[in-house]
């Protein structure tokens, strides 16, 4: 009996190893991005405006894919993509950040490594040019997971990260125009995120945001909260969320998706659909998420009018690169991979 059990255990281990190899044999790498969810479906009716967002999402995907193609770690790709979003006033992150009720800018960011569950986050920073870099330094150069406010900024200075003297650096003319438009779209929830499965089979997730429009001073949403807006675990998925943060925190959405995948054995797309459309809804928990599982399967679901999003992956066997970007329900192919 003991011998039979040992043989059975050995066969099971071989099967698991074979399954893992097969899981990694389909796609060499995968990258998925989002630029916020909300009432932007009407953009599809204005091709000239929509083209700017399609181009930005396309650029973000290719920035990350170029690093993954070279064999860089997933976290390098995630940081490069989110730095791009933080520098693009089309999105609610960095120079595109929306303002608080006091007319200032408070930024949040987080990153998580699925290989060892390391994570870092910053919340309510006002002078850090690229909050995602500060979050990464919290993960790699501190004993903590989250730092907030003045403490996070002091840490960023000690790490010699690039700072801005004037908080109004984040308020470009385009940003202010976008904020005025945002006032007319109360359900528009802006955040940017990136999830990656790299060539080594490791998952990484990151999120960066300017937060909710006219939020109260000191308010922190889901984006820097590990398990709510960001989560990555090599045993399941990498997830980045965007939406009404209070509800995403209450439902621990990012971890919830990973748990449904890991323990209920739900496909990643089914888990995302259940959470967004059954546990949450367009009134209580308006928003969306992106995710990639350890096998390279993706989810880009939302319960709002639209979500800026896109994916790109490379097939291991053929070397074929496939990707699409979208705003509403329609997806369009990415440009040719360089």
**b/e sequence 45-83, b meaning 16+ C-beta within 10 Å:** eeeeebeebbebbbbbbbbbbebbbeebbbbbbbbbbbb
**In terms of DSSP bridges, do strands 27-38 and 107-113 run parallel, antiparallel, or are they unpaired?**
unpaired
* Helix (H) / strand (E) containing 79: helix 74-86
Burial of residue 269, with CB atoms counted within 10 A of its CB: 0-12 exposed, 13-18 middle, 19 or more buried: middle
Contact 190/98 with Cβ under 8 angstroms?
yes
Sheet harboring 298-302: ordered strands across?
Answer: 230-232, 237-243, 287-293, 298-302
Distances in Å between the Cα of 97 and the Cα atoms of 6, 94, 100, 175, 220 are 58, 5, 10, 7, 14
> Among residues 98, 100, 191, 242, which one is catalytic?
191
**b/e sequence 239-261, b meaning 16+ C-beta within 10 Å:** bbbbbbbebbbebbbbbbbbbbb
- Active site includes 191? yes
For Cα atoms 118, 295, 290, give the angle at the middle one, nearest 5 degrees: 65
**Active site (catalytic) residues:** 191
């Amino acid at each position: 009996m003991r011998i039979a059990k040992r043989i059975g255990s050995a066969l099971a281990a071989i099967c698991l190893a074979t399954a893992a190899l097969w899981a990694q044999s389909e796609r060499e790498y995968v990258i998925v991005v989002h630029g916020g969810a909300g009432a932007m479906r009407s953009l599809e009716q204005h091709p000239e405006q929509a083209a700017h967002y399609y181009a930005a999402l396309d650029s973000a995907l290719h920035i990350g894919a170029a690093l993954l193609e070279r064999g860089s770690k997933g976290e390098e790709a995630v940081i490069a993509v989110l730095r791009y979003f933080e520098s693009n006033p089309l999105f609610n992150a960095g120079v595109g950040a929306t303002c608080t009720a006091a007319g200032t800018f408070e930024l949040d960011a987080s990153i998580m490594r699925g290989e060892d569950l390391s994570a870092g986050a910053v919340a309510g920073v006002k002078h850090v040019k690229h909050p995602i870099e500060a979050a990464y330094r919290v993960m790699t150069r501190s004993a903590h997971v989250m730092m907030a406010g003045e403490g996070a900024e002091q840490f960023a200075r000690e790490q010699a990260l690039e700072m801005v003297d004037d908080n109004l650096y984040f308020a470009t003319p385009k940003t202010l125009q976008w904020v005025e438009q945002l006032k007319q779209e109360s359900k528009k929830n802006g955040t940017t995120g990136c999830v990656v499965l790299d060539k080594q089979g490791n998952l990484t997730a990151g999120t960066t945001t300017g937060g909710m429009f006219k939020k109260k001073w000191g308010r922190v949403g889901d984006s820097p909260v590990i398990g709510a807006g960001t989560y990555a675990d090599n045993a399941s998925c990498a997830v980045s969320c965007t939406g009404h943060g209070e509800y995403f925190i209450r439902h621990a959405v990012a971890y919830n998706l990973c748990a449904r995948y890991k323990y209920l054995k739900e496909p990643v797309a089914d888990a995302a659909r259940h959470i967004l459309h059954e546990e949450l809804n367009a009134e209580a928990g308006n928003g969306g998420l992106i995710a990639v599982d350890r096998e390279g399967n993706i989810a880009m679901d939302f319960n709002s009018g639209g979500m800026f999003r896109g994916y790109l992956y490379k097939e291991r066997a053929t070397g074929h690169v496939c990707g699409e970007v979208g705003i509403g329900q329609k997806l369009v192919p990415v440009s040719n991979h360089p």
